[in-house]
A and B are shown apart, each in its own frame.
Chain A
């Protein structure tokens, strides 16, 4: 059943990265970070990118977001070459990019400046409700917990109705219980909104719990080593043999023994 679902969602290509190269120059020295990255993401797909830390996962995501331009190859979204940041694809930042000088409401409203007042109000109310921040409308981020700030950032991103969400280790700074809750909430939101989600993480369990497909990156200069379909229906049983098999497969891909 899950297999059928993932096949139907792959009806159209949302993103295609071809032969993407990325190199940073500093003090006359050039360091290659990405080497020949090829990736296709379908409309409405939930893709996780995993890889060793520092391998260039975040760099790839920044390039997809339009914050960095590849030094070679191209990234196309809906057939157009990505040339800069765009409100149709919102980047949710690792370091929590909520604006500390705005209230919860102010943050969610931030990207809605083109809408009429009434529509704005309605959206803000809707997304405050969705991420469970009702009662905190007038609170400043400094008064919120880490999990609430992360939910606020997701709400701010969703409010502009993007067709892609780019998440860079969004739950990395949260404690493990909050992280589990947030994964569930993110899946719930994704099922409701059906955006295309690209989720970067170094946590293999997180990837196998969330994704339709996991792209495994190799060490620097990184390419996509393999992509693995996660053919398990939601809600996923994390002790099921298939789950463990997929998880171990990814560990092996990364060259990590799963014995401690």
Chain B
């Protein structure tokens, strides 16, 4: 029974694919290529060695933009959150920058960094920086006072208080923020690559359309983007599930 239950979602997906295939092949207007065509497109990409190249290019940009944002935003956010005055001073600025879509920065990114990897990475950096900064600020402010007081009571030095109490206390929330930011980064990279670079999955989508209306390649690229996004999320969730992170304030 359990095997059947587990197979059910896959069976449903197979059913939808079949439905899609039938509709696509019966429809002469060609509004959407069928799954079989998309698989053909995928095979084409593999044959030309483009699939791996583009996936690597996209992942490369996401990784660096995301890592740079995490390295800067998290420590900065922790400090801002700890010192109320900082937060009061900087909050209006953060609130103004936060709702600006990273895509609005594309012209400026190109002006500063030209067409290339650096522009795309900068956009991804921006898309992760503000959410991560806010996550870190909130995480610090939500640390229950008892933990900090207990730490001080046992005579901890400031450094020990930071890595023995503050850091473990904010870690679960930071991880949730990192997971969400990585998802956003993966959304933004596709858009950034459509304009700011000449490789990657986003570039593949616009290029396939512009150079000969290869919609089979467009659909193939979309499928790849979806699968990689899912894998990234699964990877982050499995990190979150680590034993020492499984606690939460709520369970106490």
Contact = CB atoms under 8 A, between A and B. Distances in A.
A90 to B, nearest CB: 6
B165 A141 contact: no
A101 B149 contact: no
Interface in B149-188: 149-150, 152-156, 160, 164-165, 168-169, 171
A149 B247 CA distance: 14
A85 B152 contact: yes
Chain A interface mostly: loop
> How large, as a class, is the contact surface on chain A?
20 to 34
A99 B245 CA distance: 12
Contact of A95 (B146, B156, B244, B251): B146
Contacts of A249: none
A87 B251 contact: no
> How large, as a class, is the contact surface on chain B?
20 to 34
B144 interface: yes
A112 B155 CA distance: 10
Given A67-B149, A85-B149, A97-B149, A160 B247 contact: no
Interface in A99-116: 99-102, 110-111, 113
Contacts of B168: 99, 101-102
B249 A85 contact: no
B146 A87 contact: no
Which A-B residue pairs are the 4 nearest by beta carbons?
Answer: A111-B154, A100-B247, A97-B146, A101-B168
Interface of B: 144, 146-147, 149-150, 152-156, 160, 164-165, 168-169, 171, 244-249, 251-252
21 contacts: A65-B153, A87-B155, A90-B153, A93-B146, A93-B150, A95-B146, A96-B146, A96-B252, A97-B149, A97-B150, A99-B147, A99-B150, A99-B165, A99-B168, A100-B247, A100-B249, A102-B168, A110-B154, A110-B164, A141-B252, A142-B246
